[in-house]
Amino acid sequence: MLPNLARIAAWSAVYGYAIGHVHGPVVAARNLAKFPLLILVTATLCALSFHAFTAVLVRGARLGDVVRLSLATYADIALLLASLAPVSLFLSLTHEPPGPEGLAEYPLVLGVNVAFIAVCGALALARRTLRFAAEQAISRRRAAAVLACWLATSLFAGGQCAWYMRPFFGRRTEPDPPFMRGRDVEADGISNFYEAVWELCLRP
Amino acid sequence: MATSDGSEGDEGARGAASGATGGTAGDPGGRRRTGPPKSEVLRPAPAADAPIRRDELLSGALRPDLLVTHVLGSPGRIAANLSAATPPWGLFALLLFTSLAASVPFGAVAPVGEVWSACGLYAGTLLLCIPSLYVVQQFIGIGISFERTAGAAFVISAAAALFCLAFAPVLWFLCATSDGPGDGTGATVMRGMLVVAGLMGVLQLGRCLSRLRSADTGGVQGTFLLWMPLLLWIGWRMADVMGLRG
Structure confidence by residue, pLDDT tens digits, B59-76 = 888 888 888 888 998 888
Residue B84 lies in a domain: no
Residue B180 lies in a domain: yes
The per-residue pLDDT for range B181-193, each reduced to its tens digit, is 555 788 889 999 9
* Residue in B65, B173, B178 nearest the CB of A183: B178
Res. A165: pLDDT tops 60: yes
The minimum CA-CA distance between B139 and chain A, rounded to whole Å, is: 33
Residue B46 lies in a domain: no
Which of B159, B170, B172, B138 lies closest to B209 in space, CA to CA?
A: B159
Q: Across all residues in chain B, what is the average pLDDT?
A: 80
Whether the CB-CB separation of A135 and B20 falls below 8 Å is answered with: no
Subunit contact B42:A48, Cβ cutoff 8 A: no
The per-residue pLDDT for range A34-89, each reduced to its tens digit, is 999 999 999 999 989 999 998 888 877 788 888 888 899 899 999 999 999 998 99
Strand partners, A102: A99
The minimum CA-CA distance between B178 and chain A, rounded to whole Å, is: 6
Consecutive H or E run containing B47: none
The per-residue pLDDT for range A115-127, each reduced to its tens digit, is 898 888 888 878 8
Q: Tell me, what's the pLDDT at B46?
A: 64
**B36 part of contact set with chain A, CB < 8 Å:** yes
Subunit contact B41:A65, Cβ cutoff 8 A: yes
Chain B CB contacts of A56 below 8 Å? 72-73, 200, 203-204, 207
Chain A CB contacts of B174 below 8 Å? 157, 160, 192
Q: What does the alpha-carbon distance between residue B146 and residue B134 come to, in Å, rounded to a whole number?
A: 7
* Residue in A55, A139, A156 nearest the CB of B170: A156
What domain count does chain B have? Answer: 1
User: Taking the CA of residue B11 as centre, how many other CA atoms within 13 Å lie in the half-sphere pointing to its CB?
Assistant: 23
Q: Across all residues in chain A, what is the average pLDDT?
A: 87
Q: Tell me, what's the pLDDT at B162?
A: 95
Question: How sure is the predictor about B55, in pLDDT bands with cuts at 50, 70 and 90?
Answer: confident
Q: What does the alpha-carbon distance between residue A82 and residue A76 come to, in Å, rounded to a whole number?
A: 10
Question: How sure is the predictor about A197, in pLDDT bands with cuts at 50, 70 and 90?
Answer: confident
Q: How far is CA B188 from CA A161, A194, B239, in A?
A: 18, 10, 13
**B221 part of contact set with chain A, CB < 8 Å:** no
Subunit contact A137:B10, Cβ cutoff 8 A: yes
Q: Tell me, what's the pLDDT at B168?
A: 95
Top pLDDT among A125 and A167 is at A167
Res. B35: pLDDT tops 60: no
Q: Tell me, what's the pLDDT at B6?
A: 36
Q: Tell me, what's the pLDDT at B22?
A: 36
DSSP state letter for B46:
P
Residue B62 lies in a domain: no
What's the length of chain B?
246
* Beta-carbon pairs below 8 A across chains A and B: 146
The minimum CA-CA distance between A95 and chain B, rounded to whole Å, is: 32
Q: Which residues touch B205 (CB under 8 Å, ≥6 apart)?
A: B152, B153, B155, B156, B159, B224
Question: How sure is the predictor about A203, in pLDDT bands with cuts at 50, 70 and 90?
Answer: low
Q: Tell me, what's the pLDDT at B171?
A: 93
Residue from A1, A138, A149 to probe the interface with B (highest B Cβ count within 10 Å): A138
**Percent of chain A scoring above 90 in pLDDT:** 30
Residue from A4, A136, A147 to probe the interface with B (highest B Cβ count within 10 Å): A136
Whether the CB-CB separation of A193 and A160 falls below 8 Å is answered with: yes
Domain ranges of chain A: 2-202
Q: Tell me, what's the pLDDT at B39?
A: 45
Res. B201: pLDDT tops 60: yes
The per-residue pLDDT for range B96-118, each reduced to its tens digit, is 999 999 999 999 999 888 889 99
* Residue in B13, B26, B170 nearest the CB of A157: B170
Q: What does the alpha-carbon distance between residue B218 and residue B209 come to, in Å, rounded to a whole number?
A: 9
The per-residue pLDDT for range B123-174, each reduced to its tens digit, is 999 999 999 999 888 888 887 888 899 999 999 999 999 999 999 999 999 9
Question: How sure is the predictor about A175, in pLDDT bands with cuts at 50, 70 and 90?
Answer: confident
Q: Tell me, what's the pLDDT at B85?
A: 79
Q: What does the alpha-carbon distance between residue A56 and residue A35 come to, in Å, rounded to a whole number?
A: 31
Question: What domain range is B132 assigned to?
Answer: 99-241
